[in-house]
Every structure is written in C-alpha cells, then in structure tokens.
C-alpha cells in the first residue's frame, strides 16, 4: 500500500486505524508489519527510491513473513508524527524512518512503544529499540572529487547542496580534498538551496555555478535529475548522489555516488524477528558495499580510472581515510594533524569547511 | 561576471514565465471579483497533465493545451461552487488548491522523477548571434516571448476594449452590471476559467520547458507567489508583470551571490526574493486611494441575481 498526498493520507490513516481495531482480535503477530515513511515521493531515482529498494530487499528476503505499509512525501513535523503514530497503532512492529527531521518524533514513539523497533535514516540519536543508519558518502565523494579535479579545465567546481547539516558539510569537504589531490589549484563554490526539494531552483543553481565558470557541478542530495539533465543540455560535467543517473546525462555524467541499504535493512529485520534487535548506529561505507561509485565517465583515461580505483581499494581496506591529516579548515586552522584521522564522533557533528571551499557556511 | 549577467538576464526571462502566466490569469479573474486562491493547485494540475501529454505524444503544443484544459476544468469547479452555490471564495479556493495538488500527484504518479525533452529554443537569426544580448535575451523558447505578447494583449484588452470595460464593471459592481443586462455569472465563470487555463499553461511551462521533468510538489509555492503578485501589484497589470520579473531576477541573483562567496547568510538570501518583491510593490502602491481605486470593489463577495 502506498499513499501519496495529504487528503488520501488522512483517510488512509483512518482506514488503517479502523482495520487495525477490527483485525487485532483476529490475527496478531506472526507476520511482521513494517512501516516505511519517506520525505519525498518514490520516483525513478533519488533518496526515497533508494530507501524503497531497501524495502524491496526486505520483501525479497522475508517474503510472507513481512507486510509493508509505505507512506511517502510526508513533511517533517506534525504530519510525520501522526503518520508514525498511526503505523504504530495499526500494529506495525517495526518502522523505517526515512528522514533526518523525523528523528525526535520517531524517538518519542520508540520510548512509548518499547516492543517495536525503529531504524532511522541519517540521525544521531539512538535508544535500545531505535537504531540509525547512514552511509559514508564522504568516501565516494572523495573519489568523485578526484575525478572532478582530473577533468576540470577552469579549476572551479560547483556544489548544489540542500542544507548545511553535518552530513552535507562532511561530503563537501572530502569532495574538495579529493579534487585537491588530483589538482592542487581547485576552488569549490557552493550554492545552498535551503530546501530539500525544489527541482527548478536546483537547476537554476547549477546554471548559476556554470556561469561562474564551474565546469563540474556536484548535485548533492537532489532527489530529481534536474541538475543532471541541465548539465547534459548546457555541457558541463555533473556528479550526483543516491541513484545512478547515467541515462539522464549519457555524455556529461562524471560519476554517480550510489548507496545500497538492502543488506543492513535485512539484518535489522532479522534481528527484530529474532528478538535481539539493538539500537545501534550503523555507518556503512565502501568496506561493506553500502557505498560505491558507479558510471565513471569514459572521458577519464585508463590511468585516471586506475588512480581512482586505487583509492577506492585503499578506503575499502582501511588503509586510507579521506579525513587523514593534515586537514586545514577554511579559516586556516589545523583541524586534523598530520598522522591523525578525524574520529567518527567529530565527523558526525562536523561544522567547518576545508580550505579550498570558497563559500562560507550559512550561519 | 559577463557570464553571470547573461545567466541572470536569460534566466529571469524564463524563470518569470510560469509566474507571469499564472498571475495574469488570476488578475483577470480578480478583475471580475473572483478571488481564486487555488492557483498553486491549478498550476500543479497543469504541470502534471502537460508533462504526461508531452511524455506520451512528444508534442509540446498538445502539452500546453492539455495543461491549460486540465487546470481550466479544476477552475470551473471553483466557479460552479462559488457562483451557483454561493460558497465562500477564500475557503473554496484553498480547498481547490489542496485538491489540485492531490490530483497532480495522482496524474503524475507513474512519471515521478522522469524527464522529457525541453521545449526547443527559438533561433532568431542574427539577434540570437549577437554578443552578450544574443544569449541574454534572444535564445529563448516561444513561451517566453509569448508571455510578453499575452501580457500586452491583456493590458490592451482590459484598458482599451469594451470586453475589458465589462470585466471591470462586473468586478466593481455586479449589481449595476446585472441591471445593465450583462450576464454577471457567465462573465465571472469565463474569467475564472481563463485564469485556470493560464495557471495551467504556467504549470506546464515549468514541467515541460523550464525543468522538463515531473516531480510531485515541483510547483513549490509559485502559485502562491502569483496570487501575492496580483495583490501587491494593486491589480494594475504592468505592476503585476514588473513584480513577476523582479521576483524572477532576485531569485536568480540570490544564487549568483552565493556562488561569488559573499558572506551573507544563505537563509536570508533565499528569503530575499519574497522580501524585496513585497517591499518594492508595497512602496510603489503605498497610496491608499490608489489601492482603493484599483481593487475590484466586489472582490471575494458572492453575488446572487436578485430576480
């Protein structure tokens, strides 16, 4: 079942509640009902699509043992709280919470429902029955940055970013450091959209960056292919996140940073079924295949691709970390000393940009 | 710097198109006294219908026709409920807006996140080849120039023709217009339908020309801006059009300023198109007598034929 919009959502919520009250006496348990709540519609590509592929992986692994309730395009705030509460009261045993901003409402529900389990995308709070999951996209962003440094002729790279949250900042930093590795003169410009979802504005931002001589634009957490299609049209390279978007820019896609939630989701469902779920913070990277770089452009030479592959192997094996020191912040202060590596805790709360990024943080 | 200026000029012309069509349509409806707040929903329906039509047929002309037609159908719902059942216009308009968003999601569901070829840019010969001015002004699609023609034609129609006079008369005093033998409800119905069609064209432009993709929620508040532009432009067409261009220009300028690395909070920059447009339009319209003169007297009021 999938519900798309406010009005239907309300009526469906009522229907869920009604069917739950009817059904609760008849059948209970055995089948694990899993609720999925997404911040945007499930499209052809993008964030919600990747989460939904995680759901498909669960259904493929558990078949009749699980039942899915999907509600997409839910605004963060009271709507999200209501949708999650409805899922809980309609007998869901587990909820996959698909957006950072649902965190506090989800956690509140988790505390009220100790029998249920929760997995939350990209948050930082946990409880015994409330785990979170993220991917180390900064790893793939580093590799994409290297590729951008290899192809740029203007030495100017652009980033179209949603909000300045730690995850996004951390990615912009490694993208910049990767580019500096292959091209020391790199200069990175960022446009903050202050919106998770505004395809037209994302496209305008990409064009404005191209007009300011950026010849590679990084479409960071933009759910639609808006930036990718305009790159193909206007002729600048583009890098995107979440899904592979090669088909939207066959000649201008430099790389797609893809993610795969499937294996982690399946493990969490198994733990819920077995009764040994632990609310942990999962941070998947290249090492466990949760993060990868796909559709590297054929404009890169074999040597360049080999250089990228070498770094990917080093990241996966743990021999190299994109935040290996020395790392210098925008203001010139040394954030990571030579020989040291930024720890996960600091990375999760990162609030500084590295040297080479021209744009300031919007604070 | 030159490239950025070209980007802002050419971008403004295109970014303003959806706002301009929608605001002009709403202006005509309001001139007859019909306050239809459902523009956002009608634009969304136009965007979804237009996109699906282009995806299926490959014809942009059909896409605009479908967008206009579908949004017009939604607007006639508003017209029927308010004109024949005397429902409150504000409440009905808001309901139509929400309904339109829902309908657009349903229409576009199977096409979420997909793309079509964007409406082709016109080649205006030597004009398009001019240095600076060519890329800035003369490499646009037909709807960009069309919006200017439509704006001029509507201005002439409202200010200089008998049709315009009748439209304004109905908006000022439906009672007097009715007494003179004009069919008030028919005129209002037609104006609302026209407004719906224009909103639909604006929406279809967004989904088949400007970004050429369908994503639920992609209208992203532009319908509300269109409604606000009519009010802040104090129902004077050239001001409404100027407001639309101002809004378009500042929303692009904001992005360029960010790219130049000026240390201004981006949240403030993101809000600047709204703030500046409202302030400018409020300043040029600050004469209360002027607003009083230009605001249609019967705006938002139901009217029942007395016999």
Average pLDDT along chain A:
90
Q: Is the pLDDT of residue A283 over 60?
A: yes
* Average pLDDT, rounded, for chain B: 93
Q: Is the pLDDT of residue B297 over 60?
A: yes
pLDDT category of residue B186 using cuts at 50, 70 and 90: very high
Query: Average pLDDT in the A1-24 region?
Result: 44
Tell me the per-residue pLDDT of B162-183, one tens digit each, with 9 for 90 and over: 999 999 999 999 999 999 999 9
Confidence at residue A17, expressed as pLDDT on a 0 to 100 scale: 45
Binning pLDDT at 50, 70 and 90, where does residue A4 land?
A: very low
Q: Which residue has the tokens 């989904």?
A: B207
Average pLDDT over residues B37-49: 98
From residue B257, alpha-carbon distances to A41, A92, A169, B260 in Å are 31, 48, 20, 5
CATH homologous superfamily for the domain A2-135:
Response regulator (3.40.50.2300)
**Residue of B17, B41, B105, B258 to mutate, testing the A interface (most A Cβ within 10 Å of its Cβ):** B258
pLDDT given at position B271: 87
Asked if the C-beta of A42 comes within 8 angstroms of chain B's C-beta atoms, the answer is yes
Give the C-alpha separation, B258 to B297, whole Å: 43
- The more confidently predicted of residues B93 and A9 is B93
Min distance A301 CA to chain B CA atoms (Å)? 30
Q: Which residues of B touch A (CB under 8 A)?
A: 3-4, 6-7, 11, 15, 98-99, 101-102, 105-106, 109, 112-115, 118, 206, 210-213, 215-218, 220, 251-252, 255-256, 258-261, 263, 265-267, 270
Question: How far is A272 from B46, CA to CA, in rounded Å?
Answer: 45
For residue A16, pLDDT over 60 is answered with: no
Contacts with A191 from chain B: Cβ below 8 Å: 255, 258-259, 266
Structure confidence at residue A18 (pLDDT): 43
Side by side, which strands form the sheet with A187-192? Answer: A187-192, A156-161, A216-219, A237-242, A253-259, A291-294
Q: Is the pLDDT of residue B277 over 90?
A: no
> In chain A, what are the domain boundaries?
2-135, 137-258+292-348
Architecture label for domain B2-294: Orthogonal Bundle (1.10)
Shortest Cα–Cα distance, B250 to chain A (Å): 12
- The pLDDT tens digits for A243-255 are 899 999 999 999 9
* Consecutive H or E run containing A203: helix A199-211
Contact A224, B274 (CB under 8 A): no
* Domain residue extents for chain B: 2-294
The SS3 of residue A46 is coil
From chain A, pick out residues whose CB is under 8 angstroms from the CB of B267.
Answer: 194, 362
Q: Which fold has domain A137-258+292-348?
A: Rossmann fold (3.40.50)
**Is A231 within 8 Å of A249 (Cβ atoms)?**
yes
Neighbours of A90 (CB within 10 A): 20
The alpha carbon of residue B210 and the mean position of all alpha carbons in its chain are separated, in whole angstroms, by 14
Residue B35 has pLDDT above 90, yes or no: yes
Instruction: Looking at the complex, report in whole angstroms how far the Cα of residue A142 sits from the nearest Cα belonging to chain B.
Output: 21
Q: Which has the closest alpha carbon to B1: B264, B260, B265, B270?
A: B260
Is B240 a residue whose pLDDT tops 90?
A: yes
**Contact, A126 vs B227, CB < 8 A?**
no
Q: What is the pLDDT of residues A206-241, one digit of tens each?
A: 999 999 999 999 999 887 899 999 999 999 999 999
Q: Output the pLDDT for position A181.
A: 97
Q: C-alpha A8: how far from its chain's center?
A: 27
Q: Judge whether A2-135 and A137-258+292-348 match in fold.
A: yes
Average pLDDT over residues A144-164: 96
Judge contact between A350 and A169, C-beta under 8 A: yes
- pLDDT (0 to 100) of residue A363: 65
What's the rounded Cα separation, in Å, for the pair A209 and A192? 12
Q: Model confidence over B57-98: pLDDT tens digits? A: 999 999 999 999 999 999 999 999 999 999 999 999 999 999
The confidence score (pLDDT) of residue A6 equals 44
Contact B185, B174 (CB under 8 A): no
**Does B133 have pLDDT greater than 60?**
yes
Q: Answer positive or negative: Cα dihedral of A120, A126, A131, A137.
A: positive
**Max Cα distance, chain B (Å):** 66
CA pair distance A237, B17, nearest whole angstrom:
28
- DSSP tag of A254: E
Nearest to A41 by CA among A30, A49, A31: A49
pLDDT of A8 strictly over 60 = no
pTM, to two decimals: 0.85
- Mean pLDDT to the nearest integer, B219-247: 93
Could you tell me where the beta strands, DSSP code E, fall in chain B?
none
- pLDDT surpasses 50 at A9: no
ipTM for the whole complex:
0.86
Residue A249 near residue A298 (C-beta atoms within 8 A) = no
Rounded CA-CA distance A146/A266 in Å is 33
Instruction: Calculate what percentage of chain A has a pLDDT beyond 70.
Output: 92
pLDDT at A322: 97
3-class DSSP assignment, residue A100: helix
Beta strands in chain A (DSSP E): 2-3, 32-37, 66-71, 94-97, 117-121, 130-135, 156-161, 187-192, 216-219, 237-242, 253-259, 281-284, 291-294, 327-328, 334-336
For range A29-45, the mean pLDDT:
87
How close is the nearest chain A Cα to the Cα of B23, in Å?
18
Position A11 pLDDT exceeds 60: no
Residues of A in contact with B99 (CB under 8 A): 7
Number of other residues whose CB lies within 10 A of the CB of residue A23: 12
Per-residue H/E/C for B73-110: HHHHHHHHHHHHCCCCHHHHHHHHHHHHHHHHHHHHHH
Pairwise CA distance, residues B29 & B190, whole Å: 8
């Amino acid at each position: 079942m999938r519900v798309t919009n406010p009005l239907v959502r309300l009526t469906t919520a009522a229907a869920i509640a009604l069917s739950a009250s009817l059904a609760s006496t008849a059948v209970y348990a055995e089948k694990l009902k899993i609720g999925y709540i997404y911040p945007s519609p499930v499209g052809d590509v993008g964030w919600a699509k990747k989460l939904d592929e995680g759901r498909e992986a669960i259904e493929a692994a558990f078949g009749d043992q699980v039942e899915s309730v999907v509600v997409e395009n839910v605004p963060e705030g009271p709507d999200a709280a209501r949708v999650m509460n409805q899922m809980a009261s309609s007998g869901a045993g587990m909820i996959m919470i698909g957006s950072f901003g649902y965190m506090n409402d989800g956690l509140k529900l988790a505390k009220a429902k100790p029998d249920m389990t929760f997995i939350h995308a990209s948050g930082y709070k946990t409880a015994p029955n409330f785990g979170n999951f993220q991917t180390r996209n900064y790893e793939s962003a580093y590799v994409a940055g290297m590729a951008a440094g290899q192809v740029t002729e203007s030495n100017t790279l652009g980033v179209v970013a949603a909000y300045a949250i730690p995850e996004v900042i951390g990615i912009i930093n490694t993208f910049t450091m990767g580019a500096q590795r292959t091209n020391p003169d790199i200069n990175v410009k960022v446009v903050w959209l202050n919106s998770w979802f505004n395809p037209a504005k994302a496209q305008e931002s990409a064009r404005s960056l191209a007009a300011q001589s950026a010849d590679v634009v990084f479409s960071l957490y933009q759910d639609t292919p808006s930036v990718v299609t305009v790159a193909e049209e206007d002729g600048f390279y583009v890098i995107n996140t979440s899904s592979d978007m090669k088909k939207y820019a066959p000649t201008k896609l430099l790389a797609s940073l893809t993610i795969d939630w499937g294996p982690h989701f399946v493990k969490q469902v198994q733990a819920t079924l077995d009764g040994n779920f632990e609310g942990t913070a999962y941070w998947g990277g290249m090492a466990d295949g949760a993060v990868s770089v796909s559709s590297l452009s054929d404009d890169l030479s074999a040597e360049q691709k080999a250089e990228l592959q070498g770094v990917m192997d080093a990241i996966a094996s743990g021999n190299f970390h994109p935040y290996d020191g020395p790392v210098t912040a925008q203001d010139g202060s040394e954030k990571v000393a030579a020989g040291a590596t930024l720890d996960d805790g600091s990375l999760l709360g990162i609030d500084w940009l590295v040297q080479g990024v021209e744009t300031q943080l919007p604070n | 710097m030159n490239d950025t200026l070209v980007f802002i000029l050419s971008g403004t012309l295109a970014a303003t198109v959806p706002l301009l069509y929608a605001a002009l349509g709403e202006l005509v409806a309001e001139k007859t006294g019909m306050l239809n707040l459902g523009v956002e929903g009608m634009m969304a329906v136009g965007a979804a219908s237009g996109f699906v039509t282009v995806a299926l047929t490959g014809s942009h002309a059909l896409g605009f026709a479908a967008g206009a037609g579908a949004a017009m159908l939604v607007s006639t719902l508003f017209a029927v409920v308010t004109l024949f059942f005397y429902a409150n216009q504000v409440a009905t308009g808001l309901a139509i807006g929400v309904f339109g968003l829902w309908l657009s999601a349903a229409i576009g569901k199977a096409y979420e996140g997909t793309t079509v070829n964007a409406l082709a840019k016109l080649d205006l010969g030597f004009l398009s080849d001019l240095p600076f001015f060519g890329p800035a002004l003369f490499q646009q699609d037909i709807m960009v120039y069309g919006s200017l023609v439509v704006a001029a034609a509507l201005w002439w129609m409202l200010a200089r023709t008998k049709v315009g006079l009748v439209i304004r008369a109905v908006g000022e005093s439906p009672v007097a217009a009715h007494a003179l033998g004009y069919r008030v409800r028919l005129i209002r119905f037609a104006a609302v339908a026209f407004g719906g069609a224009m909103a639909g064209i604006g929406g279809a432009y967004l989904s088949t020309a400007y970004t050429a993709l369908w994503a639920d929620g992609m209208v992203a508040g532009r319908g509300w801006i269109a409604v606000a532009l009519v009010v802040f432009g104090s129902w004077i067409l050239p001001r409404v059009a100027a407001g639309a261009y101002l809004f378009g220009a500042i929303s692009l300028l904001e992005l360029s300023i960010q790219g130049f690395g000026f240390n201004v909070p981006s949240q403030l920059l993101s809000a600047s198109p709204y703030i500046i447009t409202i302030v400018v339009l409020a300043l040029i319209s600050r004469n209360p007598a002027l607003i009083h003169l230009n605001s249609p007297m019967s705006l938002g009021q139901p009217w029942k034929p007395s016999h």
